[in-house]
Structure 1
């Protein structure tokens, strides 16, 4: 995933592009660059390896004034070509056309061979450079910029969001999207583009969201959009309710820390308007929801990464609480096999961004099957105008707010809340849960913000425990029932931001292999809720302790795991139920990974090799 920002107006665009890049840096931070048409109508470009700060310093130290009223910018997460200045975008062809690109051109090797034969010179190892050469070729053949781009994209296979400027049309910015998000920011006498609304909040609150296959010609005074069929279309202008301050750190040292502490409010926002007088409103999932929910006999969830873990928790809930079969699969595996999907299956895709390439492809695969079967589709997502929300029959927005830190926190929590609401709606629609059970679930969810605040109050204890990881290179996480996917999420968070190898296992599987790993050098983190499996879990913990393992136990106050040699016990919560327990116990694991990363000195918000949303395979 990479970040794109651009614009055309009557003022110097460079400060706007730089600020947009800072706000998009979570999308890629290997390298960055800006290209503008300067006062002599020539392309001027500055690129830098590393983060946006390096690019800004390079611009400030430029021997000539770097400015222009039209420009494009990019922050890169490397796919083709190592992180290096010569691979950074924008890419320029023959000093006439400049391109920024998010996505992958799958047939770039074939195009590169053709372009080498045509005499084009390559200065990078990226797939994007073929885009610049291709557009230049069509400009040389007599096309204007819009038609040069339109003709070029017909020969591309893969995914792209493109921003293009050229010296022969100094007032025109052309954009196109297929498989990667792109928005247009609407101003007065100026217009902007970006991969994400957050990049443009300082300059506009009004946005048009390009749809799959759209291509647009943008000037200071006009935006003309064509769909994939070449027809002129209008895209509604929507006013964002986000403020520019929503993506600022405030008093927090890192975005991840800020977002961990925003979770009580994120839960409140996700519940708002979805429950009423101890009842869940089925209509919150869409006006068709009740009719569609009435037809289903099972649930299929697909997702990636953290979202996959939320689906695993939901599997326990669906089968335990309402007795409905539920399957969960990693989207990147699901899309590349031939899944047998039964009639009357609710297909649920989960994604923070709504642009995850594999999850989107899995949904599109199912939509092709829908013609012959009843397979209603639902997306649980944090971004209203994303590709997944547009492709699905039903959409449920999590209202987590902007999440900038690469390691997902509040998105995961609000996904679990959303899945709990879904479970309740399906159960009540089909008469699988009583009104009393519905009331209990709703009351539990209403208590959740307070439970999370109580869990956050353990931060000082967790900071002390994090010191145990200072010289460690591996860790083991244990859980049973719904706590097993929470253990998986805890292990993922630790490896993402501290680079410690971490694995999660069902506690009952210790004797089947993992016990061989146990010694004094591997911390073992366990989750001990007060439930039917508690005594079995305590036996598992004693097995670890007997072999010299160092245990860190997050428990319910009623669980009474005894502290002692080899045991550090934190009473993380109390008075939680089957739904609120996994959500609440996840909070201390987030704080643990954060503070371990601080001790290790890693980049918390932008861990190496990772980007926020995976919009390419």
Structure 2
């Protein structure tokens, strides 16, 4: 989602700020801006276009400085217009001249209305509709010559989530940052220091990273950094945080020969899965961390909390966990779970799934589950240094690598692999996995990369279908059992990046309502593995054909589904049993990608969406 970069140095930091924003573009944004301390004043450039235009504006205006902050904004409060773009300035009550305080913010301030009313009564003039401008004015109100003190006095007034970076006209070479519910990292340099919402923004600048914890406030100056946090009485005390060496991500972010990052990431899935399995010599609870065996012995239920694509990964895993491990499993949409009355069970393993490990709704749901007495927690995550990994007892870190495209692909399939390993580990602890079964399961898992290569070879056939899809405005996706969540994921991918309205249903539900939508103009994508439900699925397909619907079927080679008038078939290379969802989702990703290309949409940065959803 929104991105923050800030710097204090003796060199011109504007190129560093701009490059940092470019590295954060993948997160999704609709405006961007930079503010600096130049010639004793605050200067600012903002744009509702891409960072490249902001860079041109900065060059044209001659903006250069040794202290500054920059931001990419995903609109929440206020439309994506220039006056709502960050950084925001505060010049004081009744003032409309040069600013004194400059601030950028990720997150949402829930009590911004009451704070706005209070500040307006004190004479502060608001130039935007954002909740962020409230923080800038609030810091100004408390400023009495010490920026750190002003920020520390302002923060207790805020309700909600935030990561901020702020500097003051009166204090050159100083930036203050703070976080609560939204990620922020400190980059430690030689005679210079940095702050960012993601370590990736600082690649090539410094590899010495501090991951700030909840409630931390950091004071960046040229030769020092000082981190503080409030105690139980609200008094700020100095705290120590580990400085980690984090290798630059620059190589992983290169596009190479591919047209878009999404296409690159689809084709990286065989390697991503191989890398994720690389450290798995055998099935063992300790794959998920020290003490996992004891915890797995204590639990007899699983609760999965996730959002979006990760929720569909969890929904797939429910079938595995119940049929293989014999463990009752509930899958909850994280943004809903914390707001409903549920029945907690202390013998539950709470599993969170998140690509970034910073998803605000999932983190909040995790804390809610723990507050109900469910202390056993595990996360499936792609970022080892994320808040989710730090918050959970146990973790399995997938090795998908950096995923730039907003629509998740390789993160999803590696999540499925990790969830299957979890299923097998729990089955082993519960006495439901023999040595012979373990060997067979490991063999099948290790064959996955090769099997995926064969699926990717189907791309030319999928491209041919995509031309038909690009002219449609609606589509249905059908699946049964284990493949129903895969149909949901396929529909999500299509609507995310091509803007074709798509819905998915369990095929058996077709006659209970969705069949009313089927006409010859309605493409119906069907996931048709050769499993126990295939004959039932064929009957559902006949229901579509009887209404002149157009079937597009991804069928296993031995499923005996033939192409015919109104029935288009792409044959999968092989049936893969319980791991079939990992193969069947890949052509659905390709279909969405090539349909979007045919429609000319911005595949990697679809409108209104963000990669890392760090606000509720």
Shorter-chain TM range is over 0.9
Match of 1:364 in 2: 367
Distance in 2 separating the partners of 1:265 and 1:220: 42
Pairwise mapping of residues 384-423 of structure 1 onto structure 2 (< 5 A)? 384-423=384-423
Q: Indicate if the aligned counterparts of 1:307 and 1:350 stay in contact, CA closer than 8 A.
A: yes
Q: Look up the SS of the partner of 2:525 in the other structure.
A: strand
How far 1:471 moved relative to its partner? 1.7
Deviation string 1:280-319 (CA, Å, 9 cap, x unpaired) is 1321211110110011111110110000000000000011
Pairwise mapping of residues 274-293 of structure 1 onto structure 2 (< 5 A)? 275-276=280-281, 279-293=282-296
Q: Look up the SS of the partner of 1:46 in the other structure.
A: strand
**Aligned with residue 347 of structure 2, among 302, 326, 344:** 344
Deviation string 1:344-399 (CA, Å, 9 cap, x unpaired) is 111111111111111111111111122xxx64111111112222212111111112
Pairwise mapping of residues 478-517 of structure 1 onto structure 2 (< 5 A)? 478-517=478-517
Q: Indicate if the aligned counterparts of 2:325 and 2:430 stay in contact, CA closer than 8 A.
A: no
Pairwise mapping of residues 374-453 of structure 1 onto structure 2 (< 5 A)? 375-453=375-453
Distance in 1 separating the partners of 2:29 and 2:189: 28
Q: Indicate if the aligned counterparts of 1:29 and 1:52 stay in contact, CA closer than 8 A.
A: no
Match of 2:24 in 1: 24
**Aligned with residue 101 of structure 1, among 82, 102, 105:** 105
Match of 1:50 in 2: 49
Is 1:329 paired with 2:326? no
**Aligned with residue 229 of structure 2, among 216, 227, 230:** 227
Match of 2:157 in 1: 155
How far 1:542 moved relative to its partner? 1.7
Q: Look up the SS of the partner of 1:419 in the other structure.
A: helix
How far 1:434 moved relative to its partner? 1.7
Match of 2:261 in 1: 255
Distance in 2 separating the partners of 1:108 and 1:316: 43
Q: Look up the SS of the partner of 2:125 in the other structure.
A: coil
**Aligned with residue 112 of structure 1, among 98, 110, 116:** 116
How far 1:242 moved relative to its partner? 4.3
How far 1:61 moved relative to its partner? 2.5
Q: Look up the SS of the partner of 1:471 in the other structure.
A: coil
Distance in 2 separating the partners of 1:560 and 1:466: 24
Distance in 2 separating the partners of 1:499 and 1:213: 39
Distance in 1 separating the partners of 2:325 and 2:581: 18
Match of 2:95 in 1: none
How far 1:582 moved relative to its partner? 0.2
Q: Indicate if the aligned counterparts of 2:249 and 2:402 stay in contact, CA closer than 8 A.
A: no
Distance in 2 separating the partners of 1:535 and 1:510: 15
Q: Indicate if the aligned counterparts of 1:93 and 1:136 stay in contact, CA closer than 8 A.
A: yes
Question: Please, which runs of 5 or more residues in structure 1 have no aligned partner?
Answer: none
Distance in 2 separating the partners of 1:375 and 1:222: 38
Distance in 1 separating the partners of 2:23 and 2:575: 40
Distance in 2 separating the partners of 1:239 and 1:247: 19
Is 1:134 paired with 2:138? yes
Q: Indicate if the aligned counterparts of 2:102 and 2:167 stay in contact, CA closer than 8 A.
A: yes
The runs of at least 4 aligned residues of structure 1 exceeding 4 Å deviation read none
Deviation string 1:242-263 (CA, Å, 9 cap, x unpaired) is 4312112121111111111111
Q: How many residues get paired?
A: 605
Q: Indicate if the aligned counterparts of 1:302 and 1:359 stay in contact, CA closer than 8 A.
A: yes
Q: Indicate if the aligned counterparts of 2:31 and 2:49 stay in contact, CA closer than 8 A.
A: yes
Deviation string 1:143-171 (CA, Å, 9 cap, x unpaired) is 50001001100110000000011111101
Structure 1 length-normalised TM: 0.96
Q: Look up the SS of the partner of 1:67 in the other structure.
A: coil
Question: Please, which runs of 5 or more residues in structure 2 have no aligned partner?
Answer: 92-98
Q: Indicate if the aligned counterparts of 1:573 and 1:585 stay in contact, CA closer than 8 A.
A: no
How far 1:228 moved relative to its partner? 3.2
